[in-house]
Amino acid sequence: MESVLPGAAALLGQARRVVVFTGAGISAESGVPTFRDDLTGLWARYDAEQLATPEAFHADPDLVWGWYEWRRARVRRARPNPGHLATAAIEDLVPGTVVVTQNVDDLHERAGSRAPVHLHGSLFAPRCVGRAAHPAAFADPADDAADPGEGSRLAPPRCGHCGALVRPGVVWFGEALPEAALTAAAEAAATCDVLLTVGTSGVVYPAAEIPRIAARSGATVVQVNPLPTPLDAICDVNLRGSAARILPTLVEAAWGAAGRT
């Protein structure tokens, strides 16, 4: 890794348009389990498709809402790690940097990222199930007071605008990615100089197409991941290691004192 990092840092330091594309790996370092790893303990008797589809919510909204509120409470207790902080530092150092994430947590925002593009939605942006599907307005209990406990059923609130049930604001199996988010991510990838792909396996489509769009458009693609992925072949540089370790080192090498987080 040490032999290729200086070259990657030089490319990043010279870039005028940067995309940071993140996946579950960066948040796992903050203790946020991956989607399937959250099916543990009392939730282990379910599989993902029993809890993460529109049909599941329609059939048993209390069960689905309870699981997602349990997940959201766990994310509230997590803290951004040095990888999230380094991503925010890149935004400060390269104006116009676009952060695109597959994660549904708010760790990028809490680290200082201004407006991450959430391809798979967010646990913190619930919406109603009404035809307008607008963002939900309801009294959201603060902090740990909202923790329903493992295995708990919890009735979803009603939307303050239309009275419809409120659902988690994430993309479920069988649903399309938000069109505006996908378009913004693709456009950013097609026009960037450098794309950093961080902590993602590169196998979940259509999100996995984002680094490939950058590569086809002539951008330098730098991957940060502990293990090989299907993206290896299209990356100009592969940095083996965790986001929390590699990203701060990369930023420091690219900008020195100005890049310290």
Query: Would you say 4 is a known binding-site residue?
Result: no
Instruction: Please check if 140 is assigned to a binding site.
Output: no
The confidence score (pLDDT) of residue 169 equals 93
Neighbouring residues of 106: CB distance < 8 A, sequence distance ≥ 6: 75, 122, 123, 124
Q: Please tell me whether residue 166 adopts helix, strand or coil conformation.
A: strand
User: Is 154 known as a binding-site position?
Assistant: no
pLDDT per position as a tens digit, 119-169: 999 999 999 887 666 777 655 555 444 555 555 789 999 888 888 899 999
Name the domain count of the chain. 1
- Name the DSSP letter for residue 128: E
pLDDT at 129: 87
**How far, CA to CA in Å, does 75 sit from each of 48, 63, 79, 204?**
18, 19, 8, 22
Instruction: Give the DSSP letter of residue 61.
Output: H
Q: Report whether 47 contacts 126 (CB < 8 A).
A: no
Looking at the chain, the number of H-run helices and the number of E-run strands are 10, 8
Query: Can you tell me whether residue 222 is helix, strand or coil?
Result: strand
What's the CA gap between 107 and 74, in Å, rounded?
A: 12
Is the bond preceding residue 206 a cis peptide, omega within 30 degrees?
Answer: yes
**How confident is the model at residue 74, as a pLDDT?**
86
Q: Could you tell me the two tokens for 27?
A: 């948040």
Q: How many angstroms separate the CA atoms of 213 and 222, rounded?
A: 13
Residue 109, φ and ψ in degrees, nearest 5: -60, -45
Burial class (CB in 10 A: 0-12, 13-18, 19+), 254: buried
How far apart, in Å, do the first and last CA atoms of the chain sit? 21
Q: Residue 120 catalytic? A: yes
Tell whether residue 235 is among the known ligand binding residues. no
Q: What is the DSSP string of 13-49?
A: HH-SSEEEEE-HHHHHTTT---TGGG--GGGGGS-HH
Question: SS3 for 96?
Answer: coil
CATH code for position 144: 3.40.50.1220
- Catalytic option among 108, 118, 120, 134: 120
Q: What is the pLDDT of residue 43?
A: 42
In this predicted structure, what is the pLDDT of residue 133?
A: 66
Say if residue 79 carries a ligand binding annotation: no
Residue 243 belongs to domain spanning: 5-259
The ranges of the chain with pLDDT < 70 are: 1-2, 34-46, 48, 131-133, 137-151, 257-261
Q: Are 193 and 220 in contact (CB under 8 A)?
A: yes
Tell whether 104 is in a known binding site: yes
